[in-house]
Structure 1
């Protein structure tokens, strides 16, 4: 995989110079957009990033947090699943802003003072586990966070105990034989895991009985790019594919509850963490579609704002209606779907759709993964093919404009 500085052809040199100019502009605008932003350069790119559910405790003037990342060495070195740590400024959670669980942390420095400081919150690897081939995705079990599943470029699925020995032999789940990205733990049933790969199948596992999948779903006819459990129903999941279909499956039935055909390959799916009916899919054609499980025919709304294929989606666990998307266009965009359909001035229209809440433009290559911190609102991690991981929290000046009221399930139909 080429690094940002590679210069193989004159045309590519010009492109990279343009990217660097955009990056410098982003750096210049950081004080107006973020409460905090940190960049960590990696030896090898990580295709995956996820905050671990650490408590909000102040230690030595900061908030310790951990994340899981991986390596993609293209066979040039040993690959690893890594646990990384950072110390975030304690001002990210203060007396004016309770966390999801009501915790409050008193801060001494104001946001304006913080912006003028160079805060060292770069990631430090605290533990690494040898991994066979690249780590395409790594996700912790929400019911047992020390348990982390990975899937590789050969479709190999491994289960690690990240509190265990570095030299441990991980549990392997054998079914897929080709490249895979789909990985999702059931948030209601401990040890139940979904995986998917380029072999066009979805496998359902009980990691307590790992000899073979409990079920294998063959309803797709091409690469299954992602699979995800529903956040409110332990029997429901969705999968998306290069065959241009969305499949919504109910384990209580042998048939798909929904099959939705699209005009483009579908890369990613995300169920709302606040609405039991709302979900989003990201397409190869750079668009994002909002859909309702009760409507098998029509999309609710198409979000337009990226210029290249959508690579990842995640709903904000704290704020109803906020959706984050990552793309091959090097951007992470946060959308406020409550603003869909709002009237705009001509000047505002030139800046993008009314639902465009905030654009993170600090990456210089395709965004590969994004993750919301589960304890600190409006705080994210993002990684890209540029070998850089960003940790960032959106400016309070921007988040103060967010409309905090909830999305009523019935009103989902009136998004337009």
Structure 2
């Protein structure tokens, strides 16, 4: 087992060295870069179609807060979470050229910060927010069901009791990675899995009280 562990250590050392070299050269490659280490890998990431001015800032027009949706892919039976993050970004490339030496009078620091963790069953393969209501997030995990969460309600719940989605969508027999909300019709969601099925559901927000909903249409290859 020792040679395998040694190979893994060498591989990680090489990755760390390559990342360090890349990080040093980012000023020559990009106008602006923020890096944020995650505790676990994420197989999914999405910009939420919503941006707000930065509160409590001396110049709110220079920075805005964007939201990101991510998910964990853990190991060793560690719990998995749907992650909501805030990204504080400058509104222009000019604002991005910030003095990082500390001499700047601007107190705002661009950053990415995890603001909410929602417990899910299984690794998060794909997570997408509803365009018409970004607080509603759908998640496909390593299980068969599709989970739908209202992040505003989840923030009030204790996450110690495991996965408690606002809605469970059934219809698949295997896990998958396909998930997309309709940009034209609120509440329309399609999902695809390794069972060669595409499931379609359509619902209105009050249906979140039902907790479990089957597909309206199912297409098989």
The two structures share one fold, judged by TM-score above 0.5 = yes
Alpha-carbon distance in structure 2 between the residues aligned to 1:91 and 1:69: 25
- Residue number in structure 1 paired with 2:89: 88
CA contact (8 A) 2:140 2:179 kept: yes
The answer as to 2:176 corresponding to 1:180 is yes
Alignment partner of 1:38: what SS? coil
Kindly state the Cα deviation for residue 187 of structure 1 after the two structures are TM-superposed: 1.0
Kindly state the Cα deviation for residue 91 of structure 1 after the two structures are TM-superposed: 4.2
Alpha-carbon distance in structure 2 between the residues aligned to 1:16 and 1:194: 38
Q: TM-score with structure 2 length normalisation?
A: 0.76
Q: TM-score with structure 1 length normalisation?
A: 0.43
Cα-to-partner distance string for 1:59-104 (whole Å, 9 max, x where unaligned): 4253222211112223522222121113223444x6xxxxxxxxxx
- Residue number in structure 2 paired with 1:134: 123
- Residue number in structure 2 paired with 1:57: 53
- Residue number in structure 2 paired with 1:214: 216
Alignment partner of 1:19: what SS? helix
Shift of the 169–12 alpha-carbon distance from structure 1 to 2, 3 Å rule, reads: closer
CA contact (8 A) 1:80 1:129 kept: yes
Kindly state the Cα deviation for residue 58 of structure 1 after the two structures are TM-superposed: 4.3
Give structure 2 stretches of 5+ with no counterpart: 103-107, 158-163
Alpha-carbon distance in structure 1 between the residues aligned to 2:183 and 2:219: 20
- How many residues are paired up? 196
The answer as to 2:1 corresponding to 1:12 is no
Cα-to-partner distance string for 1:5-37 (whole Å, 9 max, x where unaligned): xx9433334433333332222122100122221
Alignment partner of 1:86: what SS? strand
- Residue number in structure 2 paired with 1:384: none
CA contact (8 A) 1:75 1:133 kept: no
- Residue number in structure 1 paired with 2:161: none
Give structure 1 stretches of 5+ with no counterpart: 1-6, 95-106, 220-416
* Matching of residues 127-206 of structure 1 within 5 Å: 127-166=116-155, 167=157, 169-206=165-202
Alignment partner of 1:36: what SS? coil
- Give me the CA root mean square deviation: 2.6
Alignment partner of 1:9: what SS? helix
Alpha-carbon distance in structure 2 between the residues aligned to 1:205 and 1:182: 14
Shift of the 45–201 alpha-carbon distance from structure 1 to 2, 3 Å rule, reads: same
